[in-house]
Chains A and B, each alone.
Chain A
Amino acid sequence: AQSVAQPEDQVNVAEGNPLTVKCTYSVSGNPYLFWYVQYPNRGLQFLLKYITGDNLVKGSYGFEAEFNKSQTSFHLKKPSALVSDSALYFCAVRDGGSNSGYALNFGKGTSLLVTP
């Protein structure tokens, strides 16, 4: 079984400060990990993914994420937050094994609020 945990319902940060949104995962095989962002009344926008290779993954809008296999984590980060980054962030995992299927398993989401 695959699962994702986002331990924080909400993260508050001041504009210009670094931000971190936490995600831990559980899969039986190799993890394929994704971050998506959702603005109010909108669908999900893809930010970045980790499949293999460098543990630090860079994505859209200045976001990056660090894959940590020993801690089974994939935290989303940004060096300097913008007010426009305020949105709902979802971490998702898929088991990369050949017979494990194609469904993405999502966390419950973390609401990011960046204040001016």
Chain B
Amino acid sequence: DAGVTQSPTHLIKTRGQQVTLRCSPKSGHDTVSWYQQALGQGPQFIFQYYEEEERQRGNFPDRFSGHQFPNYSSELNVNALLLGDSALYLCASSFSGGARMTQYFGPGTRLLVL
């Protein structure tokens, strides 16, 4: 049973560019959340997608956007990259059938903005 997968594993971009990160949820999961983990910090919630819609959003600017596809996979897009966007981006999946859903994390995509 495959867990949460993310691609790419590493990415280098320059300021002002745009980036797309991808996530496939764990089998049986229908909800995807994205987190940003800066160096030395805990993960910060960006947003969560369920039924192809953004269900909840954290305190991130509109440069951060996402999408969920019918097969439950998801993309995170970041426009107009800033140096401060350099971080590990984590995707987490969960099953909506029950309020006590545990989020399972992928290995992350490490983004470096130069």
Contacts and interface: CB of A to CB of B under 8 A. Distances in A.
Contacts of A102: 31, 33, 48, 55-56, 101
A44 interface: yes
Given A51-B100, A104-B103, A105-B45, A43 B90 contact: yes
10 contacts: A43-B4, A43-B107, A46-B104, A46-B105, A102-B101, A103-B33, A103-B48, A104-B43, A107-B42, A108-B41
A103 B42 contact: no
Interface of A: 4, 32, 34, 36, 41-46, 49, 51, 90, 92, 96, 98, 101-109
B45 A104 contact: yes
* Residue of B43, B101, B110 most packed against chain A (CB within 10 A): B43
Given A43-B90, A43-B108, A103 B58 contact: yes
B29 to A, nearest CB: 13
Interface of B: 4, 6, 31, 33, 35, 40-45, 48, 55-56, 58, 90, 92, 99-108, 110
Given A44-B90, A96-B99, A98-B99, A106 B43 contact: yes
A109 B43 CA distance: 9
Given A49-B100, A51-B100, A102-B31, 8 more contacts: A41-B110, A43-B6, A92-B42, A98-B99, A103-B45, A106-B43, A107-B42, A109-B41
Nearest to A108: B42
Contacts of B4: 43
Given A101-B56, A103-B48, A45 B105 contact: yes
Contacts of B108: 42-43
